Each structure stands twice: as C-alpha cells, then as structure tokens.
Amino acid sequence: MMIGMDFPILVSVDKKTGNVTAAFRWRAHAKDGLNLMEVTLDEGLDTYRVTFGSHRNGEAKRQPTLEDVYCEDLQPLFEQTTGLVTIPPRVIVVDNTKPSNKA
C-alpha cells in the first residue's frame, strides 16, 4: 500500500522443488523505472532469490537475479534498489478530550 501496488500479489509454487515465488508490481516512481519484484523462497537453503524489473506495455524487462538473500536483507535490498521507503510514517494520536493536569 505504501508504494501504490496496483497489481495483486501473484504466488506460485514449483511442484518439483516446493519453492514459493511471490511477484508484485507498484505504481510509485522507483529508480531506473523499476516497478516489478519477484521473490522466491529456496526452502532447501532458507534464502531468497530476488529479481527486480520493469513491466510496461505488456513487456517485462528483468535485471539479473540476486541469489542467497537472507530474510532480514529483503527490506533494505528493496529500498536500496528502488529508492522507495517501505517503513510507514509514525502517526502520533493526541487525545484532546482529556482535561490537562497543568495548572
């Protein structure tokens, strides 16, 4: 939602390996025109394969796949590669209905 996903997340399972792939696109303006990411969990190694690319006019162009990416590296990798920030802003709710204790 923070990056304007306009395409549902597609999930597929490789029947031979059991590896799960999730792919999604977004509308936000990212570096190098990127708007596509595919992430595949390699169950045997417990790491991910990540591919970024762009999808325009029915044509997908992909960058080279990054292998052996650890879970904790997915968010920083996404932000570094796309230039998009995925951490939502802090929201502070002020309750003005309670009386102040200040005299």
Q: Could you report the per-residue pLDDT of 35-80, keeping only the tens digit for each?
A: 999 999 998 899 999 999 998 888 889 999 999 999 999 999 999 9
pLDDT one-digit tens code per residue, 9-27: 778 899 998 899 998 888 8
Please answer whether residues 60 and 54 qualify as being in contact, where contact means their C-beta atoms are separated by less than 8 angstroms.
yes
DSSP per-residue letters across the chain: -TT-B-SPPEEEE-TTT--EEEEEEB-S--GGG--EEEEEEETTTTEEEEEEEEEETTEEEEPPPEEEE-GGGHHHHHHHHH----SPPP-----TTSPP---
Choose among 70, 64, 72: nearest CA to 38: 64
Band of pLDDT at residue 1, cut at 50, 70 and 90: very low
What is the pTM for the complete model shown? Answer: 0.74
Name the residue with tokens 């209905």: 97
Task: Indicate the burial class of 36 (C-beta count within 10 angstroms; 0-12, 13-18, 19 or more).
Answer: buried
Strand partners, 12: 21
Please report, for the chain, the start and end positions of each structural domain, with discontinuous segments joined by +.
10-82
pLDDT at 37: 92
